[in-house]
C-alpha cells in the first residue's frame, strides 16, 4: 500500500530528534487522535540550516516528517513556506488517499515552526 | 514488500512468521488434498440425479454430518453458507424478518464483529430497535445487563462467543439460560472460538451459532450457521431448495468438503492445540510485559482465547509497530485508528474504557499451532527494539 520511498523514509527516517537551542518549534496534532508532530528549526541568514522532528503516528506520518525535513534543509524561509502537503506526497511518490492528511500534518508542522521563528524574531527586534 | 523480509541467524532463511491467525489461517495440506478431487473429477452438482451429481450429494451429506457431530448437533441443523458474515446476517435478519409481528427488539453487545454490528445498524434503519449491552474493562458482558435489557418485544439476543480482537470469552451459557427463561432466542458468533475451545450446542444452549472455515485451517468462502431444530427463520436468498430452503444456490462442494476436513482435524487437535497455544500465549504475554515498560495486556487474563495476545504500548502508534514487525518478517494486526480506513480506533478498545491517548499503540498477535517458542522469542526480541526505536522518535514519550 505504501511506495518504496515511503517505506525507505519510514524504515530509515532522516533528521529524527530535537534541537535544544532551536530558533523555531512547531507542534501540531493531538495525542488523543493518535497523531502528533514536533518540528525544530535552526535559521541562519534566512536559510534553514538544521531541521529535526519527532512524530507519534503511523508509518505514513513518520515518512512525511522525514521527507519534509530533507526537502526543506538549506531552503530559504520563503521557499520552505511554499512546501505544501501535495509536494511532500509527490516527493514520496504518492500516499494512499486515506493517508493524505499525514502529509498535511508535516507541512503544517514545518510552517508552524517557521511562524514561531518569525514571531520570536519580531519580538526580539 | 516480499523482498523486504530479513534473513536471520546466518542460515540464509527468509523469515516469514505468521501470527495473525485471528485474520485467517493457512489451509492445512490435508484440507487442500481433500478439496482437490471436487475441483476435478468430482465436479457434479449435488442436485443432479445422475452419478456425477450423487457423488457431490454424498460428499455434502458426509460433510454436514462431520460438522454437526463436531458441534454436538444434528445434520439438518447445519446450513452451509459463504462464511461467518453471511451466517451472522442469516441469523439476525432471518429471525428479525420472521418475527417482526411478535416484536422488533434485538439485544447485542458493543464489542461484536462488524458482521453483527452493521447488520444491527441496518435493522435499526428499517424499524427495529437494538440494545447494545456494555462490557467491563476486560471485555466481559454481564448477563445481568442482558436480562435487564429484555422487554416483551425482544425477539433475539446475539452475543459473540469470543471476541475477535481481545479474545475475551463471554458467558454464553448463562446468557442462553436467561434468554430462554424469557422465551427469547439466542445467537452467538463463534467464528473465533471454534477450534480453540470446546463448542457444543447442548452445553452452550444457543439456538443459532455462526462458524467459518478459514479461521480453523480450512478454505475461505465457506462457513455454517447452526440452527436448532424447531427454530424457524426466513431464508435470505430465494431460488432452489438447497440447505433446507434457507439458502438457495448450488452448494460450494469443494469448500464444504474442505470445511469438513478442517473440522475433523480441529476435533482431533483441540486438546493438544489448546494446551500448546496457552503456553505460547502466556509465555509471550509475560515476556512482553516484563521487558517493555508501560506495556499492558488488553482483555481478560484467563477468560481468553488460547491463542490471543493483545497488548498496548504507551507513546507509540500501532500501524508503525505493525509495519516495523512486517519488515522483520512478522505478521500481526492492530486496532489502531491509523490502520483503519475510517481512521477511527477500534470500537472494542474504546468499549474497554481505555483513554484515547493510550488507545493507539496496540497490537493483536494471534498464534497458531504452526508457531514455535523460537518464533515467540524472535518476535518479542524485535518488539522490544521496535518499541524503543519508535519511542525515541515520539514527541510524547518521556525522555530516558
Cell numbers for B211, please give them. Answer: 462458524
Q: Which residue has the cell 517458542?
A: B373
Tell me whether residue A33 is one of the annotated catalytic residues: yes
A65, closest residue in chain B (CA to CA): B393
Residue B74, Cβ neighbours under 10 Å: how many?
15
Pairing outcome for strands B129-133 and A35-44: unpaired
A15, closest residue in chain B (CA to CA): B393
Q: Within the 55-74 window of chain A, which residues sit less than 8 Å (CB to CB) from chain B?
A: 55-62
Q: Which residue from B311, B326, B308 is spatially nearest to B361, judged by alpha carbons? A: B311
What is this model's ipTM? Answer: 0.91
- In this complex, which of B4, B338, B394 lies closest to A58 when CB atoms are compared? B338
Give pLDDT, residue B355. 86
Contact across the interface for B320 and A13, Cβ inside 8 Å: no
Give pLDDT, residue B168. 98
Indicate the DSSP class of residue B399.
P
Distance CA B185, CA B141 (A): 18
Cα distance between the two ends of chain B:
33
Give pLDDT, residue B256. 98
Cell numbers for B41, please give them. Answer: 473429477
Cell numbers for A124, please give them. Answer: 526580539
Cα distance between the two ends of chain A:
49
pLDDT band at A88 (very low <50, low <70, confident <90, very high): very high
A8 touches chain B (CB under 8 A): no
pLDDT tens string A29-81: 988 888 899 999 999 999 999 999 999 988 999 999 999 999 999 999 999 99
Catalytic residue among A21, A31, A33, A98: A33
CB B396 within 8 A of CB A36: yes
Beta-carbon pairs below 8 A across chains A and B: 65
Contact across the interface for B394 and A56, Cβ inside 8 Å: yes
Tell me whether residue A58 is one of the annotated catalytic residues: no
Distance CA B91, CA B88 (A): 5
Which residues of chain A does B343 touch, with a Cβ-Cβ cutoff of 8 Å? 98
Contact across the interface for B395 and A11, Cβ inside 8 Å: no
Task: Write out the E strands in B259-366.
Answer: 295-297, 308-313, 330-331, 362-366
Distance CA B261, CA B30 (A): 7
Give pLDDT, residue B314. 95
The tens place of each residue's pLDDT in chain B, 400 residues long, gives 344 445 454 556 689 999 999 999 999 999 999 999 999 999 999 999 999 999 999 999 999 999 999 999 999 999 999 999 999 999 999 999 999 999 999 999 999 999 999 999 999 999 999 999 999 999 999 999 999 999 999 999 999 999 999 999 999 999 999 999 999 999 999 999 999 999 999 999 999 999 999 999 999 999 999 999 999 999 999 999 999 999 999 999 999 999 999 999 999 999 999 999 999 999 999 999 999 999 999 999 999 999 999 999 999 999 999 999 999 999 999 977 666 666 678 899 999 999 888 888 999 999 999 999 999 999 999 999 999 999 999 999 998 6
Amino acid at each position: 500500500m505504501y511506495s518504496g520511498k515511503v517505506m525507505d523514509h519510514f524504515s530509515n527516517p532522516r533528521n529524527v530528534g530535537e534541537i535544544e537551542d532551536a530558533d523555531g518549534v512547531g507542534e501540531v496534532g493531538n495525542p488523543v487522535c493518535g497523531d502528533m508532530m514536533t518540528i525544530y528549526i535552526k535559521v541562519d541568514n534566512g536559510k534553514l540550516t538544521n531541521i529535526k522532528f519527532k512524530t507519534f503516528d503511523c508509518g505514513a506520518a513518520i515518512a512525511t516528517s522525514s521527507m519534509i525535513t530533507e526537502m526543506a534543509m538549506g531552503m530559504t524561509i520563503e521557499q520552505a513556506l511554499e512546501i505544501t502537503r501535495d509536494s511532500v506526497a509527490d516527493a514520496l511518490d504518492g500516499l494512499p488517499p486515506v493517508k493524505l492528511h499525514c502529509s498535511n500534518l508535516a507541512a503544517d508542522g514545518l510552517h508552524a515552526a517557521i511562524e514561531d521563528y518569525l514571531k520570536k524574531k519580531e519580538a526580539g527586534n | 514488500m516480499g523482498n523486504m523480509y530479513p534473513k536471520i541467524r546466518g542460515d540464509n532463511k527468509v523469515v516469514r512468521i505468521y501470527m495473525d491467525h485471528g485474520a485467517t489461517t493457512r489451509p492445512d495440506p490435508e484440507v487442500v488434498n481433500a478439496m482437490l478431487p471436487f475441483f476435478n473429477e468430482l465436479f457434479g452438482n449435488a442436485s443432479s440425479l445422475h452419478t456425477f451429481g450423487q457423488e457431490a450429494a454424498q460428499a455434502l451429506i458426509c460433510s454436514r454430518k462431520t460438522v454437526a457431530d463436531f458441534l454436538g448437533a444434528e445434520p439438518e441443523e447445519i446450513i452451509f453458507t459463504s462464511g461467518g458474515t453471511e451466517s451472522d446476517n442469516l441469523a439476525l435478519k432471518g429471525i428479525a424478518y420472521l418475527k417482526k409481528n411478535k416484536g422488533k427488539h434485538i439485544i447485542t453487545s458493543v464489542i461484536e464483529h462488524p458482521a453483527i454490528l452493521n447488520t444491527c445498524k441496518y435493522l435499526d434503519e428499517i424499524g427495529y430497535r437494538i440494545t447494545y449491552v456494555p462490557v467491563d474493562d476486560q471485555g466481559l458482558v454481564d448477563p445481568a445487563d442482558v436480562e435487564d435489557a429484555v422487554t416483551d418485544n425482544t425477539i433475539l439476543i446475539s452475543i459473540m462467543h469470543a471476541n475477535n480482537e481481545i479474545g475475551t470469552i463471554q458467558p454464553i451459557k448463562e446468557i442462553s439460560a436467561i434468554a430462554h427463561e424469557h422465551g427469547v432466542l439466542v445467537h452467538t458468533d463463534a467464528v473465533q472460538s471454534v477450534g480453540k475451545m470446546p463448542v457444543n450446542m447442548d452445553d452452550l444452549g444457543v439456538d443459532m451459532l455462526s462458524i467459518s472455515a478459514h479461521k480453523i485451517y480450512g478454505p475461505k468462502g465457506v462457513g455454517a450457521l447452526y440452527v436448532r431444530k424447531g427454530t424457524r427463520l426466513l431464508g435470505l436468498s430465494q431460488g432452489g431448495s438447497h440447505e433446507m430452503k434457507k439458502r438457495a444456490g448450488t452448494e460450494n462442494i469443494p469448500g464444504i468438503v474442505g470445511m469438513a476436513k478442517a473440522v475433523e482435524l480441529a476435533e482431533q487437535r483441540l486438546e493438544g492445540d489448546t494446551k500448546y497455544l496457552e503456553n505460547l500465549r502466556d509465555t509471550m504475554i509475560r515476556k512482553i510485559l516484563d521487558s517493555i515498560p508501560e506495556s499492558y495486556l488488553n482483555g481478560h487474563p484467563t477468560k481468553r482465547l488460547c491463542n490471543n495476545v493483545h497488548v498496548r504500548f504507551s507513546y507509540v502508534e500501532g500501524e508503525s509497530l505493525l509495519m516495523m514487525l512486517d519488515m522483520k518478517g512478522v505478521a500481526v494486526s492492530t486496532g489502531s485508528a491509523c490502520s483503519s480506513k475510517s481512521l477511527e480506533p477500534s470500537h472494542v478498545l474504546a468499549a474497554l474504557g481505555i483513554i484515547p491517548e493510550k488507545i493507539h499503540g496496540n497490537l493483536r498477535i494471534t498464534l497458531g499451532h504452526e508457531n514455535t517458542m523460537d518464533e515467540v522469542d524472535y518476535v518479542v526480541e524485535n518488539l522490544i527494539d521496535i518499541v524503543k526505536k519508535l519511542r525515541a522518535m515520539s514527541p510524547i514519550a518521556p525522555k530516558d
